[in-house]
Amino acid sequence: MPLPTEFSDLEPYADWALATEPERYAKRLASTMPDMQQFYDAAFARLEDAITYCDKFDLDDLPDDARSLMHLMQSLVMVSFPIEVWKQPRVPDSGAAWATITKEPVV
């Protein structure tokens, strides 16, 4: 799904606009640290603009492009700890631990 035209600079990262947490987590685990760093740098630079843009709409009535942008920023959150703290895609020392989300706030 396309992003708003104001965010065309983020189109190379559109594959991170995933609707569910399990999809975002799987993408994180399948990504390299350099790939996540590139995404993080590009998306973090536009975070405030994205929040301002999405805030113009009611959460239950987001246009498709705004929803894609919101999902992209949710993926930014998903990669923030690996980039800022852990320096690896997986949670350190977590072994086989796994958490499952049963309901997404907005899909």
* Confidence tier at 64 by pLDDT (50, 70, 90): very high
Q: Residues 66, 17, 62, CA angle at the centre, nearest 5°?
A: 20
Average pLDDT on 38-42 reads 98
Count of domains observed in the chain: 1
Domain presence at residue 100 = no
Domain presence at residue 77 = yes
**pTM listed for this prediction:** 0.83
Task: In whole angstroms, give the CA distance from residue 6 to residue 72.
Answer: 14
pLDDT greater than 80 at residue 16: yes
* Confidence tier at 86 by pLDDT (50, 70, 90): confident
Domain presence at residue 72 = yes
Q: What is the DSSP code string of 30-70?
A: HS-HHHHHHHHHHHHHTHHHHHHHHTTS-GGG--HHHHHHH
Domain presence at residue 16 = yes
Provide the residue range defining the domain that includes 58: 5-86
Q: Which residues, in sequence order, are CB contacts of 67 under 8 Å at separation 6+?
A: 1, 106
Domain presence at residue 20 = yes
Domain presence at residue 44 = yes
